Amino acid sequence: MEKHTLGNKDRYEILYNAVLESLKNEDQDRTRELIQDSHMADIAKIFEELDHEYKDLLFLFLDDEHAAYVLAELSSEEFFEYYSPLSIERKVSILDYIADDDIADILGEAPEELKNRLIKLLDEEEAAELTELMGYDEETAGGIMTKEFLSLEANMTVLRALDYLREFAPDAESVYYLYVIDNDGKLVGIVSLRQIIVASPMQKIGEIMNEKVIYARADTDQEEVANMVRDYDFLILPVVDSEDVLIGIITVDDVMDIIEEEATEDILKFAGTSEYDFEDYDDKVFSSVFYSVKSRLPWLIITIFGGILSSFVVSKFQNVLTLDTAIAFFMPLLAGMGGNVGTQSSTLTVRTLALKDLRGKDVGRLILQEMLVGLTVGIICSLIIAVVSILVNGQMILSIIVAIAMFANISTAAIIGTLVPLIFKKVGVDPAVASAPFITTTVDITGLFIYFSLALMLISRIS
């Protein structure tokens, strides 16, 4: 092993540059050597980051196992770009190295013809399993599970179990926990490889197994699956069908991707770009511009109509504006503050809803708390703006109007920002839709109405 003198990032950078260099120099021996000496995940990452011409070149140097690792990470389109030209023998051999859940993902998006051609390369049993996997919704437990797992029977002895594992283990994705089934294939327990090793050889698996198994059903949503794995610190989670028959397992590495995915989805929803698929961000510039525009426009169009509503509100108060055009100066300030406080409250509420199940009393607590925060922040900010405004422009009445409006805006924004996601959740709408654009627009309209009503009351009385 090389000397450990570098952090992982530096190590990777050096490797990336070395591979790029060897490809540029057409130094075949060096390229082969670098590939053989590196972790497959590094090669896959390098492949992903290289320019197209070097990608093609690097792919030529990959042995079947490396090629499988690299291909498994690609989008369906790119997969077939590299896979289709290969010889039948190589195709079969590479396919052997790719996990069935990864193949199912790739085929999920592929044209029917390519799909059928690839399935023909598999033996009958594998083909049947793959077809089963593709039958599940991609975002459920069935869609992310693998069928490559070993299970033990409850009436096996430890000795036989170990022999069985010695024979079949190298093929299974994970043998660290083993599920135990009865004669009907129903899940009845779980046993760790550790428990098997420390048990005495003639004990029955049924005696040493743990009967408290937590499992997902094939149609359990992937977000719930991720929460289960996280909450229970599982490395794998079994999946059963409606008859309790064990049909697959989900491994923690797939779950990590889901956690990251769901968090990204939430973040992007907040920013009002619906269901953005990050993978699509990589392909050609124009198609991704098209995709990006499509995913952003809906919220922007809602914002336009919200904005038109705002302009109606303002137009109703045109006479106030005519009395003192200086009122317009503070519109951006008030809208900005309301929008920000509303976004803060809604983000916090949405995130709280995503991370924990709130019970009745918690909901009350949350609302009370956000109201208090809104009042406190409102008081502080309105005092700041009152002082600054009087010092800078000297207009006493206008400054007081702005300060009161600020206070009212911030308090309502905090309440709206908290209530809207809670109500959405209650009526079964995804609370993350109560995103920045939605809250900002709502708060904008309320805020303008408050500000101009106040101005109307105070200014027209004084004038």
Nearest residue (CB) to a second copy, 16 versus 91:
16
User: Residues 25, 31, 36, CA angle at the centre, nearest 5°?
Assistant: 170
Q: What is the DSSP letter of 43?
A: H
422 token code pair: 């809670």
Task: Quote the CA–CA distance of 453 and 451 in Å, as a whole number.
Answer: 6
Phi, psi of 186 (to 5 degrees): -80, 140
Which of 104, 99, 47 has the alpha carbon at shortest distance from 78?
47
125 token code pair: 């049993």
122 token code pair: 């598999």
| Minimum gap (Å) between residue 458 Cβ and a second copy | 18
Nearest residue (CB) to a second copy, 115 versus 435:
435
| Minimum gap (Å) between residue 139 Cβ and a second copy | 15
| Minimum gap (Å) between residue 398 Cβ and a second copy | 11
Q: What is the DSSP letter of 1?
A: -
Task: Quote the CA–CA distance of 378 and 302 in Å, as a whole number.
Answer: 28
Report the DSSP pairing between strands 216-217 and 187-192: unpaired
Task: Quote the CA–CA distance of 227 and 258 in Å, as a whole number.
Answer: 10
Helix-then-strand count for the chain, H and E: 22, 6
| Minimum gap (Å) between residue 300 Cβ and a second copy | 6
Nearest residue (CB) to a second copy, 321 versus 433:
321
| Minimum gap (Å) between residue 85 Cβ and a second copy | 26
| DSSP SS3 for 237 | strand
Residue 319: exposed, middle, or buried by beta-carbon count in 10 A (0-12, 13-18, 19+)?
A: exposed
Nearest residue (CB) to a second copy, 95 versus 199:
199
Nearest residue (CB) to a second copy, 9 versus 461:
9
Contacts of 458 (CB under 8 A, 6+ apart): 397, 400, 401
| Minimum gap (Å) between residue 439 Cβ and a second copy | 10
| Minimum gap (Å) between residue 242 Cβ and a second copy | 9
Nearest residue (CB) to a second copy, 110 versus 320:
320
Nearest residue (CB) to a second copy, 308 versus 462:
308
